Chains A and B, each alone.
Chain A
Amino acid sequence: MKILVCISNVPDTTTKITFNSEQTEFNTSGVQFVINPYDEIALTRAIEITEKDGGTVTVLHVGEASADPTIRKALAMGAHDAIRVNAAPRDAWFVANQISNVANGAGYDLILMGRESIDHNGSQMAALVGELMNIPSISICKSLTLEGNKATVDREIEGGKEVAIVETPFIASASEGMAEPRIPNMRGIMSARTKPLNVVEAVAVDTLSEIISYDTPKGRGQVTLVEADNTDKLVELLHTEAKVI
């Protein structure tokens, strides 16, 4: 089984999000970057599959050299080798084209990635790559088991789950439950030192979107609790304070 896992490099979940004064760029100074948590789930599942059935896991990242520590961590977790497409990941279309360019014709049986990255939360990548490569793409999978070239996946859907059966090659995006993310151990960290990280140049692709500005959500206001039977008070507050009626 030859597996490709796509990972993105995102700010750690505890990061305080700030922007430059024009609100056009995210401030990365002092920010710790990590493997996108959903990608970590996908990667762990890929490693589990190859540990059981043999095969290789290649991690792919579209991004600049500053993401190399994140890629090293993926190698320390157990991926066999890595590819970095040397270009800033400008938008989903750009990244999807880079991924499909690397994967096309390379013989991957399975391409895994997270359901979304926790910074931009676009949730488009699996579908875009599937379309570009013309192979099935299944999103938001809670489990994935393989029997030969047949895979069974549980998909999260509104109010329940859907079971799908699909043949390789295909793309799946991982959600919680597919695997328990692995913590690299010391042996893994040591062996990651010498695992290949191949840097390839990007192919020319137009971007289809542009970020105009960023804003953080408004802080939560004070909560006023009103007794359940005091509707008069509620109506008064909605008039005078919230000014919504």
Chain B
Amino acid sequence: MATDRFIAPDYYLLDELLTEEHKLIRDSARAWVKKEVSPIIEDACQKAEFPKHLIKGLAEVGAFGPYIPVEYGGGGLDQISYGLIMQELERGDSGIRSTASVQSSLVMYPIYTYGSEEQRKKFLPKLASGEWMGCFGLTEPDHGSNPGGMVTNIKDDGDHVILNGAKMWISNSPFAQVAVVWAKDEEGVIRGLIVERGMEGFTTPETHNKWSLRASATGELVFDNVRVPKENILPNVKGLKGPLGCLNSARFGISWGAIGAAMDCYDSALRYSKERQQFGRPIGGFQLQQKKLAEMITEITKAQLLTWRLGVLKNENRATPAQISMAKRNNVNMALEIAREARQIHGGMGITGEYPIMRHMMNLESVITYEGTHDIHLLITGMDVTGENAFT
């Protein structure tokens, strides 16, 4: 891959809305991505390998649980810091950001929010340092957009429960030491459990041949009469609101992450349009290309404002799930459209690994599907404004 010449667009001087510490955190993550991710990511994606050697660096830049309190190994930072780190990681690659999202919002967040003090102390510091990696098992082969219909279940067995079922499309599953798994108890109530690698009957086959998120490992979680000690059940939540709380946190991060992917595509397209000559002049001088670039920077600027405001609300504990849905839906779609337009600006070069465009574009096809599909988020907004449920 060519040298990473990324320059972040900030059309409305939104940096002025950030604190000095926010900027330091973001700039450090940005510098780290330039140094560690950009040079290897194309190759990792072509080979469909998760670059495991990045785990230590990810932990160091604060990508694992930045908003988890310091006493549990987290960063004790605010939500905007979390968003900015996700933005920078996804500027590098959505797969790297996915790994960090899962670790922070889908594994550390539920253990911190719903876990016992013993669980927090046992798991969080090791997850924050990257010594242990985690995954999150909600989706099942027959239950994607409708997770409440899950069939994975636990049965009482004295001081243990017996876990049966299967989860599918699970990011990080092939190498995770810890899985936060959602399953129904004998009364049909959804409970969260921490399943650890090595428990008998627990396997994690990898899903191959993805055309998207190739630098992130995806797999299944298969539970065949797995005996899980009751002390591994998350005591402080019951029902679908458990996993949905995690998704809120992850979706918030994704709405920032998508801006990163969009910025990278825009930046590359802008530079290319100034350098590439056709008919004796830079293609950036043609109106059709300018329309694309002007619309891209407009959409990026709008998305930046949206997430910044959402971050302020989230810091004040006032961001509603529906507001987060709106940002996730808008920003991921925005990024995907920018990736498609940017690919056209790059002409034939746009389909090669010389430029990050096609990789972002393919990655974003997953991002627009996971954590609630584009359609599902629209239904959430629709229900929020009309009061009518159009899901079922």
A190 interface hit (Cβ, 8 Å): yes
Known: A186-B66, A190-B76. A72 touches B24 (CB 8 A): yes
Please give the number of chain B residues whose Cβ is less than 8 angstroms from any Cβ of chain A in the complex: 20
B183 interface hit (Cβ, 8 Å): no
Distance between Cα atoms of A157 and B77 in the complex (Å) = 47
Nearest-neighbor residue (CB-CB) of B32 within chain A: A183
In the complex, the answer to whether A183 meets B35 with C-beta atoms within 8 Å is yes
Nearest-neighbor residue (CB-CB) of A185 within chain B: B60
Of A32, A183, A187, which is in contact with the most chain B CB atoms at under 10 Å from its CB?
Answer: A183
Q: Chain A contacts of B32 at CB under 8 A? A: 183
Known: A68-B20, A72-B20. A186 touches B35 (CB 8 A): no
A32, A68, A69, A185: the one contacting B62 at CB < 8 Å is A185
Known: A183-B28, A186-B75. A69 touches B61 (CB 8 A): no
| CB of B210 to closest CB in A, whole Å | 30
* A1-44 to B contact mask, C-beta < 8 Å, 1/0: 00000000000001000000000000000101000000000000
Question: For window 19-38 of chain B, which residues contact chain A by CB distance below 8 Å?
Answer: 20-21, 23-25, 28, 31-32, 35
Nearest-neighbor residue (CB-CB) of A192 within chain B: B24
Please give the number of chain A residues whose Cβ is less than 8 angstroms from any Cβ of chain B in the complex: 17
| CB of B67 to closest CB in A, whole Å | 11
B2 interface hit (Cβ, 8 Å): no
* B72-104 to A contact mask, C-beta < 8 Å, 1/0: 000111000000000000000000000000000
In the complex, the answer to whether A69 meets B35 with C-beta atoms within 8 Å is no
* A141-170 to B contact mask, C-beta < 8 Å, 1/0: 000000000000000000000000000000
B13 interface hit (Cβ, 8 Å): yes
In the complex, the answer to whether B13 meets A186 with C-beta atoms within 8 Å is no
| CB of B186 to closest CB in A, whole Å | 43
Distance between Cα atoms of A72 and B7 in the complex (Å) = 23
Q: Chain A contacts of B61 at CB under 8 A? A: 183, 185-186
Tell me if A's interface is mostly helix, strand, loop or mixed: helix
Q: Chain B contacts of A185 at CB under 8 A? A: 28, 60-62
Q: Chain B contacts of A32 at CB under 8 A? A: 15
Distance between Cα atoms of A6 and B13 in the complex (Å) = 30
In the complex, the answer to whether A73 meets B21 with C-beta atoms within 8 Å is no
Q: Chain A contacts of B76 at CB under 8 A? A: 190
Q: Chain A contacts of B70 at CB under 8 A? A: 190
Q: Chain A contacts of B75 at CB under 8 A? A: 186, 190
In the complex, the answer to whether A186 meets B20 with C-beta atoms within 8 Å is no
Q: Chain A contacts of B15 at CB under 8 A? A: 32
Distance between Cα atoms of A187 and B25 in the complex (Å) = 10
> B residues bordering A, Cβ < 8 Å?
7, 13, 15, 20-21, 23-25, 28, 31-32, 35, 60-62, 66, 70, 75-77
> A residues bordering B, Cβ < 8 Å?
14, 30, 32, 68-69, 72-73, 76, 183-187, 189-190, 192-193
What are 18 sample pairs from A and B whose C-beta atoms fall under 8 A apart? A14-B7, A32-B15, A69-B20, A69-B24, A73-B24, A183-B31, A184-B24, A184-B28, A185-B60, A186-B25, A186-B61, A186-B62, A186-B77, A187-B60, A189-B21, A189-B24, A189-B25, A193-B21
